Amino acid sequence: MRCLTLAKDLVEKGAKVQFICRDHSGNLIERIRQEGFELYTLITANNCHFERSQQSLKSKLTYTDEESPTPKLAHAEWLGVLQKQDANDCQPILEIINPDWLIVDHYALDQAWQYALKPYYQQLMVIDDLGDRNHLCDLLLDQNYGSTEAKYQSRVPAHCKVLVGAHYALLRPEFAQWRETSLKRREQVQNIKTLLITLGGVDPDNYTGQILSELAKTQLDKDIEIIVIMGATAPHLANVKNQAETMPIKTTVKTNVINMAELMTHADLAIGAAGATTWERCCLGLPSIQLVIAENQRQIAKALAKDNVVKMIENSKQLPGLVNTANQWINDMSQQAAKICDGLGCQRVVDQVLIMDA
């Protein structure tokens, strides 16, 4: 989603944007096409190369092990194929596009892939936050809280411009548009009336259901309303809807919402995953209880909790105590969260790309 957000802002500034995506389960290929972007699909099954209007092109790329002596990356399996295969698949596409900028957002790609494809782009931007692999990029973005340029000092070329921190978070423009309304509203909030739960569109491990089970045991005010956000294809959606009907307080399940910023603005407390939606909640000053559902989220979640930007929990059983005392800390947390991100990060990144392209 962050790449789609960036793409829209680039188009508004006059750029032509095209996507290359692999057909992994849960991909956003149709969503990207619905937004009007031309897209090349890399096919994983049977190691087919790619399709674009049923057209097949052959790679001319030379990629040898000698050019890629680096060890296997920690998230290599997320690519679905070897870097060599992926580079071979991308080469004929890039030869057609001949991009001024190639923007890469994938934990399983590093300098080997970038070196192999270097003849087919002018400048390279990498979106990263792990800092665990080398890049041959001209611009690097790490939008996470507490990240520093020093993290990438030995990972990128000397000429590379490094943008770090939630100041550059790639948020959709509606979050900046709702920010003032949201922050003014929170000045008047004394007690929780609306609790928002969002654990990602898919939530394959049904953290949403676990959270509802714990909230059902909590002594919540009968006037509180719970709003649950899920994707229409979430595997546990039907179970969560059934569970919502048995909750002791009003609980509504919404799917495929298009007004997330508005919903967050009118919520008093959020329970969410420690992922990209963190910056959306911060932008709107929405106090949050953050559940770590992936190991690569833990470090940032701890840093945010230490600075009273969020309340961090390891599992849903820790919820009742925090929710019951939330009225005591939501105002202070809202003010701290709002300092982290103003929603204008995508504009700052686009401006940097255009400056370097001039």
pTM: 0.87
Q: Give yes or no: residues 325 and 194 share one domain.
A: yes
CATH of residue 279: 3.40.50.2000
Nearest to 169, CA basis, from 304, 292, 5: 5
**How does pLDDT run along the chain (358 residues), one tens digit per residue?**
899 999 999 999 999 999 999 998 778 888 899 999 999 999 886 444 444 443 445 566 655 544 445 568 888 888 989 999 999 999 999 999 999 999 999 999 999 999 999 999 999 999 999 899 999 999 999 999 989 999 999 999 999 999 999 999 999 999 999 999 999 999 988 899 999 999 988 888 999 999 999 999 888 888 999 999 998 888 999 999 999 999 999 999 999 899 999 999 999 999 998 888 999 999 999 999 999 887 878 888 999 999 999 999 988 888 988 998 999 999 999 999 999 999 999 999 999 999 998 7
Q: Give yes or no: residues 30 and 81 share one domain.
A: yes
Q: Give yes or no: residues 159 and 203 share one domain.
A: no
Residue 63 is predicted with a pLDDT of 54
Residue 52 is predicted with a pLDDT of 46
Q: Give yes or no: residues 145 and 261 share one domain.
A: no
Residue 57 is predicted with a pLDDT of 52
Q: Give yes or no: residues 145 and 180 share one domain.
A: no
Q: Could you please report the per-residue DSSP string of 86-154?
A: HHHHHHHHHHHH--SEEEE--TT--HHHHHHTGGG-SEEEEE-SS--S----SEEEE-STT--GGGGTT
Strands 139-142 and 251-255: unpaired
Per-residue pLDDT of 159-184, as tens digits, reads 999 999 999 999 999 999 999 999 99
Residue 27 is predicted with a pLDDT of 81
Residue 61 is predicted with a pLDDT of 66
Q: Give yes or no: residues 160 and 191 share one domain.
A: no
Please list the alpha-helical segments (H only) found in the chain: 2-12, 29-34, 83-97, 111-116, 173-186, 207-216, 237-245, 260-265, 277-283, 298-306, 319-324, 330-338, 345-357
Residue 226: phi, psi to the nearest 5?
Answer: -105, 130
Q: Give yes or no: residues 165 and 177 share one domain.
A: no
CA–CA gap between residue 293 and residue 271 (Å, rounded): 12
Q: Give yes or no: residues 99 and 178 share one domain.
A: no
Per the structure, the complete domain to which residue 201 belongs is given by 173-338
- Evaluate whether 143 touches 247 at the Cβ level (below 8 Å): no
Q: Give yes or no: residues 140 and 249 share one domain.
A: no
Q: Give yes or no: residues 59 and 179 share one domain.
A: no
C-alpha torsion sign, points 155, 156, 158, 160: negative
CATH of residue 353: 3.40.50.11190
Q: Give yes or no: residues 155 and 190 share one domain.
A: no
Residue 25 is predicted with a pLDDT of 76
What's the total number of domains in the chain?
2
Per-residue pLDDT of 269-282, as tens digits, reads 999 988 889 999 99
User: What is the percentage of the chain residues whose pLDDT exceeds 90?
Assistant: 74
Residue 62 is predicted with a pLDDT of 58
Cα 309 to chain centroid distance, Å, stands at: 18
Q: Give yes or no: residues 156 and 212 share one domain.
A: no
